[in-house]
Amino acid sequence: MALVRWQPANIFDLSTNQLFDSFLDNGNGEAPHEAAFRPSVDIAETNDEYVVTADLPGIDRDDLNVTVAEGRLTLRGERRQNGDSLSGPARRVERVYGTFTRSFELPSEVKADGIGATYRNGVLTVTVAKAEEAKPKQIEVKIGA
């Protein structure tokens, strides 16, 4: 049997690329460009409607699709990689590209014909109107004599 001298790992032996790659890891072992594109979404409620706001920077309006079916609001789209700006043999790609789908269950008290969407400066805003029975009502309390 050969005797092998034990040498603990030296943290200073890490290359710069290994160090930065560990910071950029998304937590599941995938590099950011290998991860699925999943846009951030805020959902708010007012007295009259629900408002869904999604950050979609760099996505062309023609690459977006908003549908409502079977009580679900679905956002679909694709962020395309611009190959012109990434030419040359050495490059690093950290932004995430690809298709995405986000679906949200709608409450039953919404108006199917009261749904609208706007897209401006990379932000998609979808408004879903509440049905009359879902809106809060002010009830006057009468004092008995």
Delimit the domains of the chain by residue range. Answer: 38-82+96-133
Measured distance CA(145)–CA(124) in Å, rounded: 55
Percentage, residues of the chain above pLDDT 90:
30
Structure pTM? Answer: 0.64
The ranges of the chain with pLDDT < 70 are 1-2, 4, 6-35, 83-91, 134-136, 145
SS3 label, residue 23: helix
- Cα distances from 133 to residues 15, 46, 84, 105, in angstroms, run 63, 14, 53, 19
Q: How are strands ordered across the β-sheet holding 98-105?
A: 64-69, 72-79, 98-105
Distance of CA 49 to the CA centre of its chain: 21
Tell me which of 2.60.40.790, 3.40.309.10, 3.40.50.1980, 1.10.3720.10 is the CATH number of domain 38-82+96-133. 2.60.40.790
pLDDT for residue 33: 45
pLDDT for residue 27: 47
Measured distance CA(80)–CA(96) in Å, rounded: 9
Which residues make beta-bridge pairs with 74? 67, 103
